[in-house]
Structure 1
Amino acid sequence: MKALVLTGTEQMNLSELMIPEPIPNEVMIKVKNCGICGTDVHIYHGDPGSAEVTPPVVLGHELSGEVVAIGEHVTNFKVGDRVAVDPNIYCGKCKYCRSGKVHLCSHLSAVGVTRNGGMEEYVLVPEANCYQLPDSMSYEQGAMVEPLSCVLHGFKQLTIRPNDRVLIVGGGFIGMLFLQVIRNHTFGSIVVNEINQAKHEVLKQLGATEVVSEINSTLYNQFDIVIECVGKRITIENAVKCADKGAQLLLFGVPSPNEVVEITPYDIFNKELTISGSFINPFTLDEAIQLLNKGIVDIEPLISHRIKLEEVQSVLENYPKLGITKALITL
């Protein structure tokens, strides 16, 4: 089978690998679509993903496909089933798993991070990590279940009231997902800060009250909810400045492990801010499937690039220059 193998930092080989055989609790999936995530870009350039990455490995944790073989102990799926994949595999034994915080698992592993993922024609996935797709959903929608499930976990960190003033910092793919989820829960204003003006019209169509190219002092202390979707020093610092008294601030963007920000603690104290992080996607995939299937979240305007496996490395190398909202691989 054809597979794109990460062999080292900024090194990939398009290879022919043996088609794997599922062990008793696994299913084999013929991959139909696989999204490229910002985390894949980080990993390609040598940073960790949700867990440490040790090449050689096949990336791709946003994937959907058809079940083509099952292990002897698999009971919930059959050949021909259409599935989306939760890439995150938990040990079930550590203190975090035993207290219900599985996403903080001390021994977290993941499809497309610590084991081969969706940038290959056939992938093995534990049965527990597969989710049945309704017949009415496309495989492209199925590949977007995982990123939407991560957004939903972040959304659940917040308490949003009907008239809250919301600021989303970063209007790329994740910002657009947040925009649609929040618009479904509030009648308040939603301002999106997005530097790329080519995305402004889509953001307005998806429900943004206003789209701004830059953060300036007129936006300071103006918002009840601030969601940071970029993970850069300046955007995180601006997010704190824009939070009003009593505001909630969600840090969702994935920063470099070495990123350091300057925040005045007095602002947190004086404004009594609630600052939350959000890591991966525990218990939110079923909800993500329903939101996509019912059209509450529309991913069609968000897919900017449809590519083949042979084009992936070039996309990873030039990601910031390409104006990508979401690149989707078709296998």
Structure 2
Amino acid sequence: MEVVEMERPHPGRNEVLVRMKACGICGTDQHIYHGHPGSAEVLPPMILGHECSGLVVEVGEGVRNLKAGDRVAIDPNIYCGECEYCRRGDPHLCENLEAIGVTRNGGMAEFAAVPAANCYPLPDEISDEEGALIEPLGCVLHGLKKINLFPGMSVLIVGGGFIGQLFLQLLKRWGASPAVVSEPVVEKHPLLRSLGADRVVAPGDLPGDELFDVVIECVGRKESMEEAFRRAKKGGQILLFGVSDPNLEISVSPYQIFSKELKISGSFINPYTHQEAISLVKQGAVRTAPLISHRFALEEVPTVMARYPTLKVAKGIINISP
């Protein structure tokens, strides 16, 4: 990656030009940086950044519901509306999926032209940084809808990073009890407790016979996914949310799935959950600002992306325009 001067883009029909204010660095950005696909195949050169918020500064022809001066959070995913999956109501599985920061230039820049339909007005109660984090919260909301959760169900969250912290807040709001988080970085444990975790443990410290109604895997590693299967009760539900290497394979006993009647779900992106996510943050039902561990300037991004694993970033935000 490098920082370069580019010509300011112009909004096309049904697009707006957004002066970016804040952009989150996602684990998927790291996957793309190391040559893996994001939500779709990436063809460099590409400006990354799909967790972003900003200020509308220009509107293209045909835009009716936005004007210059509007603050917006941006849903990066653009669906074709014509393929089999879009027409059956599963647009996130779109065969022709495009995404801001993946297949077209995204939020790690001062300006980006984006479809007006992908912009959600931000209320004054939500900061630019919180607005950038609406996208990952929307992804977590989509994952939560894959689970049949009832008050009193026991839940294990494998991985207490940013995504695990969002899941924890929503699960406690839905009545999960107990909510246990497995997280190896002890510095994260106090924050997890403050967000409502009934217990926070290091991997390997759970009693061998402790099982859960719901297990949510937020890491994407072989050992953590296999642990998720070991920790599910009979009739348990497993949500595989963490993004793994595309070539990773895990060892799972089909007999265990059969004999326990396990329900296993994946969760991909965030179809139309932005408005719900904005409402939750506005109400204070989900807190995102305390989860930000690092803030960077745009000029720092190439160095930050190269050193990301060594920086121990829980959640990084790029502050772009003054």
Using structure 2 for the length normalisation, give the TM-score. Answer: 0.98
- C-alpha deviation, 1:278, in angstroms: 0.1
Rounded to whole Å, the distance in 1 between the matches of 2:302 and 2:4 is 13
Q: Which runs of 5+ in 2 are unaligned?
A: none
CA distance in 2, matches of 1:169, 1:220: 16
Residues 220 and 244, structure 1, Cα contact 8 Å, conserved in 2: no
Q: Does 1:225 align with 2:214?
A: yes
Contact 2:154 2:176 in 1 (8 A): no
Quick one: structure 1 residues 176 and 25, their matched pair in 2 at CA, closer, same or farther if it must change by over 3 Å? Answer: same
Q: Are residues 1:198 and 2:187 paired?
A: yes
- What SS class does the counterpart of residue 68 from structure 2 fall into? coil
Equivalent AA in structure 1 for residue 94 of structure 2: C
The ranges of structure 1 where at least 4 consecutive aligned residues each deviate by more than 6 angstroms after the TM superposition are none
Structure 1 residue 286 and structure 2 residue 275: aligned?
yes
User: Are positions 1:32 and 2:21 aligned together?
Assistant: yes
Relative contact order (alpha carbons < 8 A, sep ≥ 6): 1 or 2 greater? 2
1:196 deviation in Å? 0.6
1:87 aligns with 2:48: no
- Partner of residue 56 from structure 2, selected from 67, 88, 91: 67
Mapped pair 1:275 → 2:264: yes
Give me the identity figure in percent.
56
Give secondary structure in 1 for the equivalent of 2:207: helix
Q: What amino acid sits opposite 1:44 in the alignment? A: Y
- In 1: Cα distance, 2:300 partner to 2:260 partner: 48
Note if 1:297 corresponds to 2:286: yes
Equivalent residues of 1:215, 1:238 under 8 A apart: no
Distance 1:221 1:205 in 2: 23
Secondary structure in structure 2 of the residue aligned to 1:177: helix
Which one of the candidate residues 110, 121, 139 is aligned to 1:121?
110
Looking at structure 1, the residues matched to 240 and 296 of structure 2 have their Cα atoms a distance apart, in angstroms, of 30
Q: Deviations over 1:269-291 (max 9, x none)?
A: 11110000000001211000001
Q: Which residue of 1 is the match for residue 154 of structure 2? A: 165
- Where structure 1 has 5 or more consecutive residues not aligned to the other structure, the ranges are 1-11
Instruction: Give the CA deviation at 1:216.
Output: 5.4
Work out the CA distance in 2 between the residues paired with 1:219 and 1:246.
19
What's the offset of the Cα at 1:310?
1.5
Does the alignment pair 1:257 with 2:246?
A: yes
The alignment yields a C-alpha RMSD, in angstroms, of 1.0
Deviates more, 1:294-303 or 1:199-208: 294-303
Q: What TM-score comes out, normalization by structure 1 length?
A: 0.95
